[in-house]
Chains A and B, each alone.
Chain A
Amino acid sequence: MLAKKMKKNDIKRDPFIHLTRLPDPKARHYWFSKLISVVIALLICALITNAMAPGSFGDFFKYLGLGTFSSSLQTLRVFQDTAILLLIALALTPAFKMKFWNIGAEGQVLIGALGATIAMKFLAGTMPNALLIFVCLALSILFSIIWAVIPAIFKAFFNTNETLFTLMMNYLASGLVAYFVFVWVPNGSAVLGVINPNTHDGWLPKLFGQDYLINIITVVIITVLIFVYLKYSKHGYELTVVGESQNTARYVGINVKKTIIRTLILSGAVCGLVGFLLVNGTSHTLNADLVSGRGFTGILVAWLGHFNPFEMIFTAFLVAFVTLGGSYAGDIFRFGTAYSKVLIGIFFFVFIASEFFLRYKMNFSTEVQAFFKKIGDFFAKIFGPIGRFFKKIFTPVGRFFKKIFAPVGRFFKKLFKKKDSPKEEPVSKEE
């Protein structure tokens, strides 16, 4: 109906809905909206949980907390997962700022992990442990850089589509890893198992007796470094310019090809670090599913953090928190592993929606507005009398209270007016 009518008077175009960009929100509005999104997402999750297991509304929150912060070990685990996800997002950020759509973090991390594994498996015992760890790190970074630079070279010199290129490199990486595991484990179970389980050669040491702590600290340092690199270095500025407009970049004398390749070397190096931390610091083994989709989740984390390293911490933490808490709740409700993925999906959905409503205003056509007004009038018709009824009852009550409390109020007003220092007022006026 609407479409037909619109066609009739197409001189005056009045689309059903059109969006207008709003100015960037203030920081406190922005964070308030994030907070509200978390609350709304949690409520939706709880409601869905309650629908699947009636009466579990409260338990949902209980288990979400128990699954994440019930013990110091588990708390550390939340931060470890946050750290890995954050590091992947950080690796992607410089490339994304340059509008180089690198969706190959999954493969870049995996190939780095392969490099670390090769060193850990075949060089163990031939050199001191500290050197072995260093060789693992070097090899994983080298492998990942190669994996990231291949698409970059093709992009810089032949202008190939980097999205497809990096995506396909993921499959190559996972195929390669599967191949090597198959070659190393001839019995066909394709389970490499823990490498150096007794000697712990190549394992990152525990810090203060805690697993993962070294990973978390590394990521904190890298976060700061990437922030500085993007915000204050010449390189960081150059890649932003290349992202905004390659012509402008050329005009001001930036070597675009060099910038693309250099940025992807950085991207790959950080991915290699992730692979190293996963193998040497976390799993001590390798399989094709080691990264388990975090290379892709990292993309969302980077975007939702608006490429600001500190903002990304928030999203990465939330993903880790919901995944761990959700899987614990799922264990008890007998929902299976897909449950925590459903929760994550809801969170991302609400987050992206909040971003949308924060940055765009929805303008409805006059017809729709009239329709909304009708609905409004309808409700006014129903609720109006009720409102008036309540007004009738409560107005005298209110007047009565006013009569009683007005003198009290006046008394307090007098009391505080005397204490108020008059000097403060001009200062606030100046501001």
Chain B
Amino acid sequence: MKAKFKLSLFALVAVGALSACGQQAAAAAYNIKTGDSYELKINKSLDFSKVKVGLICLHDTNSTYDKNFIDSMEEARAALGLTKEQVLIRTGIGEDNTCYDACAEMVNAGCNVIFADSFGHEDYMIQAARQFPNVQFHHATGTKAHTEKLANYHNGFASIYEGRYLAGVVAGLKLKDMKEKDANVASKVGYIGAFTYAEVISGYTAWYLGVKSIVNDVTMDVTFTGSWYDETAEKNGALKLREKGAVLISQHADSLGAPTACEQNGIPNVSYNGSTEESAPKTYLVNSRINWAPYFVKMVESVSGGEAMGYDITGNRNDGSVLISDLGKKASTAETADYVNNVKKKLADGSLKVFDTSKFTVTITQPSGKEGDFGVNTAAKVDANGHLTSYMADVDTDANYTPDTEVVANGEFQESKFRSAPYFDVKIDGINLLDTQF
């Protein structure tokens, strides 16, 4: 503590002395080290020379989401000692039949394991898995493996809500700091989502709960773009949120639209799946990401005589699949790193749970009987205080989103337990959806 105190004292002195470049000097003095370190565990006894991997990406490296997969794949490739020829990376594959075509081409080229990264690829991956039973197919964010029950089709995801929660804590500390400096700052944050999928809802709720753990009276507006990558829509979303009074913004969409809009308007921003510090140095706070390298290593091992993989594989913070980055150099506040590292410990030992039902309340609205009104949270049951006691989630995907599995137990919404992809789609109090057409 003493050392930390000295550090911040030094920061104060530095700010005073070098007013011109004060901010930089001050930032350099903070501890920004919250970045997780991890080690790729590789079973060296296996022979990887016969492996050929195919990676299918929706967009290319301009999208933070796809870049994350590509970087992880190259990292795993280097660690496994595979040649470039053993890993085919195909970008720009739409969520249509081109995905199946790409699979077929990769199988024809001798791939024995193929991974696709976007939600809409799933049907085509299943089609390919049926067509080519000798090839293993893996799909990120998909939901159907445990119901399709194909031996060669797997869904992969990670407990990213923990990463989102940590990023939310960083945002909360920033918000608290802003409020302390200026009493007029509202307790309101904003979030840009792509679609109203459970994956997005789970993400923004976890992030919101992270913020709320610091600033209890915070509320959040959420707007949707209807696309995973739409720079203009994401930029406009950020501006819309600012108009509605949000003072801090995060997003679950893949372009640089929101971060750059935030940078131009001086709004602190939390990004996802990659640092946006380069394009938004003044406002970048932190990012959380899924690190797919451990998954890719397991995937390659499974086709090289290693352990076979089940229908659903959920990476977690222990195996290095869920990471949080270092803090932004300029926008973050002192003491943040210590606080976050402390929260990390609590998450690791289980004393803190992200979707702890005592930490949020839920309001149930029954359908009014009008056409198109299906009510809100009708699958939930709450106690007198509004805390969740039961929730039937749609774990087994069907066209009508029929709730089928009880997911609340031990005072916690058990996310990613019954399948790897998120199914948390509760609309909790404090989060206001500006539009829901997607």
Comparing B95-103, B156-164, B178-186, the segment that makes contact with chain A is B95-103
Asked if B392 is at the interface of the complex by the 8 Å CB criterion, the answer is no
Asked if B218 is at the interface of the complex by the 8 Å CB criterion, the answer is no
Asked if A188 is at the interface of the complex by the 8 Å CB criterion, the answer is yes
Contact assessment for A188 and B195 in the assembled complex, using a CB-CB cutoff below 8 Å: yes
Given contacts A188-B195, A287-B97, A331-B88, contact A197 B108 (CB under 8 A): no
Q: How many residues of A contact B (CB 8 A)?
A: 32
Given contacts A188-B196, A189-B120, A337-B91, contact A74 B97 (CB under 8 A): no
Contact assessment for B90 and A327 in the assembled complex, using a CB-CB cutoff below 8 Å: yes
Report which residue of B85, B97, B104 has the largest number of chain A beta carbons within 10 angstroms of its beta carbon.
B97
Given contacts A71-B110, A197-B127, A289-B96, contact A77 B104 (CB under 8 A): yes
Which chain B residue has the least Cβ–Cβ distance from A327?
A: B90
Q: How far is the CA of A74 from the CA of B90 in the complex (A)?
A: 16
Asked if A254 is at the interface of the complex by the 8 Å CB criterion, the answer is no
Q: Tell me which residues across on chain A come within 8 A of B108, comparing CB atoms.
A: 70-71, 73-74, 77
Q: Return the contact of B226 from the options A77, A188, A284, A327 (Cβ within 8 A).
A: A188
Q: How far is the CA of A152 from the CA of B105 in the complex (A)?
A: 39
Q: Return the contact of B92 from the options A285, A290, A334, A338 (Cβ within 8 A).
A: A338
Given contacts A197-B127, A332-B85, A332-B88, contact A285 B110 (CB under 8 A): no
B281-309 vs A, CB cutoff 8 Å, 1 = contact: the mask equals 00000000000000000000000000000
Asked if B84 is at the interface of the complex by the 8 Å CB criterion, the answer is yes
Asked if A194 is at the interface of the complex by the 8 Å CB criterion, the answer is yes
Which chain A residue has the least Cβ–Cβ distance from B97?
A: A283
What does DSSP make chain A's interface, helix, strand, loop or mixed?
loop
Which chain B residue has the least Cβ–Cβ distance from A282?
A: B97
Contact assessment for A191 and B120 in the assembled complex, using a CB-CB cutoff below 8 Å: yes
In the complex, chain A residues 318-360 whose Cβ is within 8 Å of any chain B Cβ: 324, 327-328, 330-332, 334, 336-338
Q: Return the contact of A285 from the options B90, B96, B196, B226 (Cβ within 8 A).
A: B96
Contact assessment for B195 and A77 in the assembled complex, using a CB-CB cutoff below 8 Å: no
Given contacts A70-B110, A74-B105, A194-B124, contact A189 B89 (CB under 8 A): no
In the complex, chain A residues 50-77 whose Cβ is within 8 Å of any chain B Cβ: 66-67, 70-71, 73-74, 77
Asked if A292 is at the interface of the complex by the 8 Å CB criterion, the answer is yes
Which chain A residue has the least Cβ–Cβ distance from B131?
A: A211
Given contacts A283-B97, A331-B88, contact A73 B104 (CB under 8 A): yes
Which chain B residue has the least Cβ–Cβ distance from A287?
A: B96
Which chain A residue has the least Cβ–Cβ distance from B98?
A: A292
A177-209 vs B, CB cutoff 8 Å, 1 = contact: the mask equals 000000000011101011001000000000000
Which chain A residue has the least Cβ–Cβ distance from B95?
A: A191
Q: Return the contact of B97 from the options A73, A189, A285, A330 (Cβ within 8 A).
A: A285
What does DSSP make chain B's interface, helix, strand, loop or mixed?
mixed
Given contacts A289-B94, A336-B60, A337-B91, contact A328 B100 (CB under 8 A): no
Contact assessment for A189 and B109 in the assembled complex, using a CB-CB cutoff below 8 Å: no
Asked if B374 is at the interface of the complex by the 8 Å CB criterion, the answer is no
Contact assessment for B127 and A336 in the assembled complex, using a CB-CB cutoff below 8 Å: no
Asked if B356 is at the interface of the complex by the 8 Å CB criterion, the answer is no
Given contacts A74-B105, A77-B108, A188-B226, contact A337 B88 (CB under 8 A): no
Q: Tell me which residues across on chain B come within 8 A of A287, comparing CB atoms.
A: 94, 96-97
Q: Tell me which residues across on chain A come within 8 A of B96, comparing CB atoms.
A: 191, 285, 287, 289-290
Smallest CB–CB gap between B238 and chain A, Å? Answer: 22
Which chain B residue has the least Cβ–Cβ distance from A74?
A: B108
Contact assessment for B92 and A336 in the assembled complex, using a CB-CB cutoff below 8 Å: yes
Q: Tell me which residues across on chain B come within 8 A of A324, comparing CB atoms.
A: 105
Contact assessment for A337 and B119 in the assembled complex, using a CB-CB cutoff below 8 Å: no
Q: How far is the CA of A73 from the CA of B98 in the complex (A)?
A: 16
Contact assessment for B105 and A327 in the assembled complex, using a CB-CB cutoff below 8 Å: yes
Smallest CB–CB gap between A77 and chain B, Å? Answer: 7
Q: Tell me which residues across on chain A come within 8 A of B98, comparing CB atoms.
A: 292
Report which residue of A66, A187, A290 has the largest number of chain B beta carbons within 10 angstroms of its beta carbon.
A187
Smallest CB–CB gap between A201 and chain B, Å? Answer: 15
Q: Tell me which residues across on chain A come within 8 A of B123, comparing CB atoms.
A: 191, 193-194, 197
- 26 A–B contacts, CB within 8 A, in A order: A66-B109, A70-B110, A71-B109, A71-B110, A74-B105, A188-B196, A188-B437, A189-B95, A189-B195, A194-B123, A194-B126, A194-B127, A197-B123, A197-B127, A197-B130, A283-B100, A284-B97, A285-B96, A287-B96, A287-B97, A289-B96, A328-B105, A332-B88, A336-B92, A337-B60, A337-B90
In addition to A71-B108, A282-B97, 14 A-B residue pairs with Cβ atoms within 8 Å of each other are A67-B105, A73-B107, A73-B108, A187-B399, A187-B401, A188-B226, A191-B123, A285-B97, A287-B94, A289-B94, A328-B88, A328-B109, A330-B90, A336-B91
